[in-house]
Each structure stands twice: as structure tokens, then as C-alpha cells.
Copies of this chain bind each other. A is one copy, B any other.
Amino acid sequence: MNVDHLKKLLDGVQRGKVPVEKALQELKHLPYEEIDCATIDHHRHLRQGAPETIFGAGKTAAQVVSIMKRMQAQKNNILVTRLDKEKVPPIKRVFRRAHYYPQSRVLTLLNHPVKITGKGTILVVCAGTSDIPVAEEAILTARILGNRVEHLYDVGIAGIHRLMSQRERLSAASVLVVIAGMEGALPSVVGGLVDRPVIAVPTSVGYGSHFGGITALLAMLNSCASGVTVVNIDNGYGAAFAASQINRV
């Protein structure tokens, strides 16, 4: 049931064509989602400029194309994450202007320029070269969501001076996304240096007792620096999404 149908029903009541009891019954079973869905759409998807996102993992190229077509009709920008490269050619055959970033496995399709709506700058910081794919996913996500984004790479804590020399840039950001594998200590150090929200992203970079990112994840959850919150392993998208929401508060 959509708003049109609802209006028609109320018109029927006003004109005496629909008895109150009958309307009462229908309204009592009013499909919830259609009203709510519209609300959600208004806030999240239908708002001019906001992108639609597709989680590419576990979907075939055909499925992705089919969803993109439906989105395309709304003239929104589109973001596809975790898209394996072998799925790209069939997608690009349909959407020629789509752009694929192999390192982060992100595909974007811009139907209109991204409008900067975030207040400040989101700074994406990562510890090592191997964390860059996750950083790139975060950067591309934050940009398409309408934020100014900067980054700082390879400032891991084993050479703490690299990080210390960048304190001014750290302090200038409104939100920080801090990405690290191995022992995952970078967000703690950054969290102690700045007075801004820090979103920590553990990565699966490591071996042995790193357990595919669990060690970094646990370290971040147990940070001795206040104000650090954490997302799932390798979840650059989620961190950027949260950072973007914070950048609009």
C-alpha cells in the first residue's frame, strides 16, 4: 500500500463510499513497510545525490547488472563493493561509464556529480602498505557519500615518528578512519593524539596467530584510548559509512 492508495481510502471515507468499519479493518492491517519504506527511501535512497550500494560478494555478474538497472532508473550514483574482477567485463558491457578499482574491488557508476554534504574532512589512516585495499574501499565510499576525504598511508606504530610528524593533519580531521592489521595498535595511538571520533578497522593482514584479523579486532575493541569504536574485519565500507553519518551530525 502506498500513499496514493491511502489517500484514495481516506477520500472514500470522506465521501461516505467506504464505511468507517471497513476502513478501520484495512488500516489495522496496513502494510507497515510501504509507509516506512517511503520514509527510509526519503532519508536514505531517494534523496538527491545519495548512492545506492550493492554488496557484490556472492552475487553473479548477471544479478549485479539486474540490480544496477533498477537503480539506474532512479538516476542515483551506484557503489558496488567486494566485486571480483572476473565479474567486471559483463557489467561494463552494459554500464560503459562504470569505473572499477581492482585493488579494493570497488565499482562505481556516477550518474551525476557527487555533491559534498559532509561538514568536515574524513581522514583515512592506514598502518601498512598491505592495508591499502581496505583504505581505498573506505575512501571511495566516503567520497561517493559526499565527503571531503584525505588519507595518510604507512604510518604504523613500529616507527612511531612517522605518525607523530603528522599530528597536525590528524588534528585537522573531523572524523578518522584508522586501519591496521598485525597487532592493530594504530587506532589506540591515534585515539590518544586526537580529540575526534576514531573508527577502527582491523584488517586480515597478518599470519599465524593473527587468525585472519581476529588479533587486530580484539586489540581495537580493548583499546586503552577512549572514543575508539570498531567495525568488522576489512570493513572499509562500513567504517566510511559510519564516518559519513558522523560528518553530518
Contact = CB atoms under 8 A, between A and B. Distances in A.
Question: How many copies of the chain does the oligomer comprise?
Answer: 8
A104 interface: no
Contact of A249 (B37, B58, B184, B247): B247
A218 interface: yes
Contacts of A230: 221, 229-231
Interface residues of A, number: 106
Interface stretch (A16-24, A91-99, A108-116): A16-24
A45 B167 CA distance: 19
B224 A158 contact: yes
B209 A221 contact: yes
Contacts of A28: 3, 6, 35
Q: Is the interface of A mostly helix, strand, loop or mixed?
A: helix
The 10 nearest A-B residue pairs measured at CB: A208-B233, A33-B161, A185-B185, A33-B165, A229-B229, A32-B164, A36-B161, A58-B130, A158-B192, A31-B165
Interface of A: 3, 6-7, 10-11, 13-14, 16, 20, 23-24, 27-37, 40, 43-44, 53, 57-59, 63, 82, 119-120, 127-130, 156-165, 167-168, 174-175, 182-185, 188-189, 191-193, 195-197, 199, 202, 204-235, 237-239, 241-242, 245-247, 249
